[in-house]
Amino acid sequence: MHEGNEMNIFLLCGIYLSPLIFGLAIYALLRYIKMQWEKRFLELASATQFQYLPSAQNAPYRRRGMRRGSPVLLGQIDHFSCLIWLQERRTATSTTSGHGRVKHYTHLEVHLPQTLNLGLNIEPELSRFTSLFDLITSDIQINDEVFDKMFRIKAHDPNTVYQFLTPQRKIAIYNAQQSMSQLGAMQITDTTVEAQLYGGKLSPDEIISVMKQLVAVAHQVTTLPLQK
């Protein structure tokens, strides 16, 4: 009888403590993952000479997908403000596993000193930036077969963007996307030249290489074209 009571007490303790143990294990795992991201971003901060911000809450720019506790890197290249941050995105729930997968993306942003005021959005066809609205609306064609095939172009006025996309600018944009095609996709708007790279474990050399390409494009789109 005494042994039976001890067994019941043991089972009850197991039932009540299991959620607590499970919760602590999840917390420890998340804490470990967070420490790994912090370590990678500290290494990247050293390589890029950017400022390390332990929380996106302190970033000067807020972006959809930023997590308050995720690290952010802030820096300056030439006269452009630059930002590097990590996004976690959960995919749709799988019918086989019953839960979604978490995917990581590294965002690189180069902010233009002033807006282009074109309503501009240039991105590769079917990139991670492409929305459903983009897919069902027609994009601007600029009579450049290679460029039109590679990019989707949106702007307020087709004639203005046609004049804006000079040969020098098209070459810079094309070369930048080609150089990072295996890593992710670039996007150009009125205020930023940015890239969304697949994964969160890219090397500092890969990050620096892409950032240099983004800055080169930023120089092109903010420089007055040569007068004929």
Looking at the domain assignment, is residue 164 inside a domain? yes
Looking at the domain assignment, is residue 69 inside a domain? yes
Phi, psi (rounded to 5 degrees) for 105: -135, 135
* pLDDT at residue 86 in the model: 84
Mean pLDDT of the chain: 80
Residue type, 25: A
Looking at the domain assignment, is residue 212 inside a domain? yes
* pLDDT at residue 26 in the model: 61
Range of the domain at 214: 2-222
Looking at the domain assignment, is residue 228 inside a domain? no
Residue 117 has pLDDT above 90, yes or no: yes
- Output the pTM of the full model: 0.77
Query: Residue 123's beta-bridge partner residues?
Result: 152
The whole-number average pLDDT for the span 23-35 is: 59
Domain count, the chain: 1
* pLDDT at residue 33 in the model: 55
Looking at the domain assignment, is residue 227 inside a domain? no
Looking at the domain assignment, is residue 206 inside a domain? yes
Both tokens assigned to 200: 């969160």
Higher pLDDT, 29 or 141: 141
Determine contact, residues 202/106, Cβ cutoff 8 Å: yes
* pLDDT at residue 6 in the model: 55
Residue 210 has pLDDT above 70, yes or no: yes
| Half-sphere exposure for 16 (CA within 13 Å, toward CB) | 6
